[in-house]
Structure 1
Amino acid sequence: MDTAARDHYFSDFSQALRYWRGKRGLSQLALSLAAQVSQRHLSFLEGGRAQPSRELILKLGLVLDVPLRQRNAMLLAAGFAPAYQERDLSDPELDAVRRALEFMLAQAAPYPALVVDRLWNLVMANEPAAALMRFLLDMPAHAPIPRDGSVNVIRLTLEALRPCIVNWDEVAADQLLWLQREAMSDGPGSEATALLRELSVLPGVATTTEAPNLERRALPFLPVRFRKGDTELNLFTTIATLGTPHDVTVHELRIESFFPADEASANWFRTRVV
């Protein structure tokens, strides 16, 4: 119930529907045709003169490609119970998902890989990722890395890892873009919006949204360049998600894998990370 109340950030269903239709750039006519509902009824729904059924809310959420968490918010705004569960990865029903994630993380070795939630809180990490964090942050060799969501990867990038990231401005801007997308998707009053506002006032962050330097040599990816002492590591990342999810937690998980951008960086991981 606490989670449901936290995510009920539209005052009513009509506000939620107007928000998502506008976000998708659809006219009432276009949405009515796609959802096979009359434009008149849609107008009444947006004006608060009619109340939707649970089935219609789910149909509109599907047509508008609303994320599962926000479909629940739309249901709550209309007075219905959420349709999609939000379970912890320790839940026995998500055992197959957890094992699949563990397999993917293991296959990424000797290179780092993380599993994060929609706000980029760390949920899982392979040993190379943990070893890289310990190296960059001067942690003891076997110090535990919290994997309970208490470590936010974007906050870590913007603050603790900043002295180690050579191209911090570019990396910070890229990281904030992910969070901006989440905030725009979530709508007003969301956790993502609050976190974005909080991180945006950190020292130096505001300047990362300025126009990019278009004179620099174009690369097919944004490298993340770490420097610690005499060691410099050039990496790039890929982001993967799980397909056809029907659980809020699973829908929001992201697997971020780091790959070496040069042979020296690849060799460092092959020889130093076990």
Structure 2
Amino acid sequence: MSAPQIGILLREWRAARRLSQLDLALEAGLSSRHLSYVETGKAKPSREAIERLAEALEMPLRERNELLVAAGYAPRYGEAPLDAPSLTQVRRAVDLLLVQQEPYPAFLVDRRWNILGANRAAARVNRFLLDGRDSPHRNMIRHFFDPADLRGAVANWNEVAAELIRHLHGALRTAPGDPHARALLDEALSYPGVPARWRRRELDAAPAPLLTVAFRKHDRELRFFSTITTFATPRDVTLDELRIESCFAEDEATAALCRELARADA
């Protein structure tokens, strides 16, 4: 008997998490024999067993739904659009966080790095760096990799781009079956000047404790570091995939330029 879709998914996730059948079975409180039967199609897991396996694999909510559907069950987690009435308070909280970050940039981003919202400071800084133009993209990866976008203004592009590639490899590991994650990584790697070695995930590369993004334009320099805010214990796929990236000035020169841009925009 060929392995069912759930068996394929479980093996993919075990490989991504570097877990043996025994490791995963112990973590999920199942017998390794039962897990083997599930992966080969000899047994159908209960809904509870599926949810325990998903928890042990630390799967995002979207992929937990896919695992349930592959086993023949209805998905557990809803996916409300961001403009749904049920998310009104969430939108208000996001808007408040974006506004409070002024005069420094802040962005609302999904797991595919699409920019769903931003404060006015983000637009001001972008236009300053692009000589008054708006960015041609609404995706953070394309911002930094497309030569027609912000890339030319990033003074430490090699360092920043390498870190973004590391995050893309990590996203693919987190959701190994996500074709969008693979497509975005392939697109980033296809841009000119991207080293071939970045095609391989560097397992031993330790991330820097803090990454500074340095922009240079018109003999002025802006240096930012960022923090990421996520929603705690989300029960909705949309909320599970949202994050707010808030930029902070690393030095007084950057802070002064941000205030200057804000005054000019008032």
| Structure 2 CA distance for partners of 1:36 and 1:257, relative to 1, 3 Å | same
| TM-score (norm. length: structure 2) | 0.87
> Are 1:48 and 2:41 an aligned pair?
yes
Match of 2:75 among 82, 86, 99: 82
Match of 1:249 among 222, 238, 250: 238
Report Cα offsets for 1:91-131 as digits up to 9, x if no partner: 11111111111111111111111110001100110111111
Residue type matched to 1:243 in 2?
A: A
Contact 2:98-2:106 at 8 Å conserved across structures: yes
Give secondary structure in 2 for the equivalent of 1:273: helix
Contact 2:141-2:164 at 8 Å conserved across structures: yes
Match of 1:19 among 9, 12, 20: 12
Measured in 1, the distance between the counterparts of 2:155 and 2:23 equals 48
Runs of 4+ deviating beyond 4 Å = none
> Are 1:240 and 2:233 an aligned pair?
no
Report Cα offsets for 1:41-67 as digits up to 9, x if no partner: 111011221112223212211122111
Measured in 2, the distance between the counterparts of 1:266 and 1:23 equals 42
Measured in 2, the distance between the counterparts of 1:96 and 1:42 equals 41
Most deviating of 99-108 and 198-207: 198-207
Shift of residue 266, structure 1, vs aligned partner: 0.9
In the other structure, the counterpart of 2:204 is: none
> Are 1:221 and 2:210 an aligned pair?
yes
> Are 1:167 and 2:156 an aligned pair?
yes
- Count of residues paired in the alignment: 252
In the other structure, the counterpart of 2:111 is: 118
Report Cα offsets for 1:11-58 as digits up to 9, x if no partner: 700011122223333332333233222222111011221112223212
Shift of residue 68, structure 1, vs aligned partner: 0.8
Give the percent of matched residue pairs that are identical in Structure 1 and Structure 2.
47
Contact 1:169-1:208 at 8 Å conserved across structures: no
In the other structure, the counterpart of 1:91 is: 84
Shift of residue 199, structure 1, vs aligned partner: 1.8
| Structure 2 CA distance for partners of 1:208 and 1:107, relative to 1, 3 Å | farther
Unaligned runs of 5+ in 2: 201-207
In the other structure, the counterpart of 1:153 is: 140
Give secondary structure in 2 for the equivalent of 1:242: coil
> Are 1:260 and 2:249 an aligned pair?
yes
| Structure 2 CA distance for partners of 1:207 and 1:26, relative to 1, 3 Å | closer
Match of 1:132 among 125, 128, 143: 125
| Structure-to-structure mapping, 1:181-220, within 5 angstroms | 181-188=170-177, 190-206=179-195, 209=198, 220=209
Q: CA RMSD in A?
A: 2.3
Residue type matched to 1:198 in 2?
A: E
Measured in 1, the distance between the counterparts of 2:92 and 2:120 equals 16
Contact 2:4-2:39 at 8 Å conserved across structures: no
Give secondary structure in 1 for the equivalent of 2:181: helix
In the other structure, the counterpart of 1:6 is: none
Residue type matched to 2:164 in 1?
A: Q
Measured in 2, the distance between the counterparts of 1:29 and 1:182 equals 25
Measured in 2, the distance between the counterparts of 1:46 and 1:34 equals 16
Give secondary structure in 2 for the equivalent of 1:227: strand
Shift of residue 271, structure 1, vs aligned partner: 2.3
